[in-house]
Amino acid sequence: MTNPAAKIAVLGGGSFGTVIANIAAQNGCDARLWMRSEKQLEDILETGMNSRYLPKYELHENLLPTNDLATAVHDCDVVFVAVPSKAFRVVLEDALKYMSPSAGLVSLTKGIEPHSFHLMSEIMREMAPKHPIAVISGPNLAKEIAQGQLTATVVASKSAALRHQVHDVLGSPRFRVYANPDIYGVELAGALKNIYAIVSGMAGALGMGENTRAMLMTRSLAEMSRFAVKMGANPLTFIGLAGMGDLIVTCTSPLSRNYRVGYAIGQGYSLKQAVKQLGETAEGVNTLRMVKEKADELGIDMPLVNGLYEVVHNNQNVDLIADHLMLGERAQDVDFMFDQE
């Protein structure tokens, strides 16, 4: 059941922000899409499409594109934030000046704030302590959602009212919204899987086989779960859509930007060249650096992260990832997802 009365805004006119705003508009919401670029706004107003990020995807008439933040958020029931993690704080800070104090805040961003190691929910809680907050994550390639492929996502919030509101705003026969109260786990899963999508893209470029791919994905899940549980997440979140589901899609699809960055590195391009030729956000590049530092600090065993870090940041040969995974010294090699105590 959709709620035609809802007023919503999405901040960030990239591919994910655009599809989420359009779903809400298709569901009868008064939906606004805020972007910073005037040129992009003109293009959308002229063509009815966001040609830079989602060419040929028609935007619904209920969707109002704008580059004025106050117009976007001023009387909204729910504000979704879909900018890269490095811009999240500054965009939110500006938007809060114009928002109703009761508006729900929902992050669509899958990354970690540089330096602070804050997830987006922590930034929202710090900056907007009175607002109900939620995060959305899951196997959600924007381009597939735009094609109308059947897709499921996860909304995580302590507020049941906001979970239901998000379900009403976004749920449809082609887009199913599941709920999970584990905000931290859902969000951390979405950020961590980007690292392993880079590894998987590299393996793809190097022509590695299906045994290798299965091993990589399964050990990735074990490694990211081990890290997340040490950070306070619920382990069960990692075998759901936001964990295993998102890992599968980004480790197997060339539509994933992180996979594409890995693929380019596997072909011999430098990280800088790979990111430049992508021209869109690949959060995993920064997430890798932050997770490596945090894992070192906490003494968490992360052979894939360590191997990828050496290849990407210290110009080591790609074979090093395989060496870390296959030959690394560990107290015991057990096929469990988590430490069994």
Ligand X SMILES: O=C(CO)COP(=O)(O)O
Please report, in range form, the residues annotated as the binding site for NADPH. 15-16, 36, 53, 110, 142, 257, 283
Q: What angle in degrees, to the nearest 10, is found between the helix axes of 284-298 and 210-231?
A: 60
Nearer to ligand X, 256 or 286 (CB): 256
CB of 37 to ligand NDP, least distance (A): 4
Residue 190 phi, psi dihedral angles, 5° rounding: -65, -35
Q: Which amino acid type is present at position 100? A: S
Extract the annotated binding site.
15-16, 36, 53, 110, 138, 142, 193, 246, 256-258, 283
| CB contact at 8 A, 197 and 139 | no
List % helix, strand, coil for the chain (3-state, nearest 5): 50, 15, 35
Q: Which of the choices ligand X, ligand NDP, none does residue 197 contact, using the CB cut-off of 5 to 8 A by kind?
A: ligand X
Using alpha carbons, list the distances in angstroms from residue 199 to 5, 63, 258. Answer: 44, 37, 9
CB of 244 to ligand X, least distance (A): 12
Residue 43: Cβ-neighbour burial (10 angstroms; 0-12, 13-18, 19+): middle
Residue 327: Cβ-neighbour burial (10 angstroms; 0-12, 13-18, 19+): exposed
Q: Which amino acid type is present at position 179? A: A
Nearer to ligand NDP, 109 or 157 (CB): 109
Q: Which of the choices ligand X, ligand NDP, none does residue 157 contact, using the CB cut-off of 5 to 8 A by kind?
A: none
Residues 6+ positions from 72 with CB-CB distance below 8 Å = 9, 11, 32, 33, 34, 66, 95, 98
**From the list 28, 48, 84, 181, which residue makes contact with ligand NDP (rule: CB under 6 A)?**
84
Q: Of 66-74, 102-110, 225-233, 302-310, which part binds ligand NDP (CB under 6 A)?
A: 102-110
Catalytic status, residue 56: no
Residue 83 binds ligand NDP (CB under 6 A)? yes
Nearer to ligand X, 6 or 183 (CB): 183
Residue 248 binds ligand NDP (CB under 6 A)? no
Q: Which of the choices ligand X, ligand NDP, none does residue 108 contact, using the CB cut-off of 5 to 8 A by kind?
A: ligand NDP
Two structure tokens written together for 139: 């196997």
Extract the annotated binding site for sn-glycerol 3-phosphate.
110, 138, 193, 246, 256-258
Give the footprint of ligand X on this chain (CB under 6 A).
110, 139-141, 194, 197, 246, 249-250, 256-258
**Residue 125, CB-side half-sphere exposure with 13 Å CA sphere:** 12
Q: Say how far apart CA 300 and CA 189 lie, in whole Å.
A: 16
| CB contact at 8 A, 182 and 237 | yes
Residue 135 binds ligand NDP (CB under 6 A)? no
Nearer to ligand X, 26 or 194 (CB): 194
Q: Which of the choices ligand NDP, ligand X, none does residue 258 contact, using the CB cut-off of 5 to 8 A by kind?
A: ligand X
Task: Tell me how many residues contact ligand NDP (CB under 6 A).
Answer: 26
- The catalytic position among 39, 97, 193, 292 is 193
Q: Which of the choices ligand X, ligand NDP, none does residue 15 contact, using the CB cut-off of 5 to 8 A by kind?
A: ligand NDP
Nearer to ligand NDP, 103 or 106 (CB): 106
Find the helix or strand (DSSP H, E) in which 176 lies: strand 175-180
The set of catalytic residues is: 193
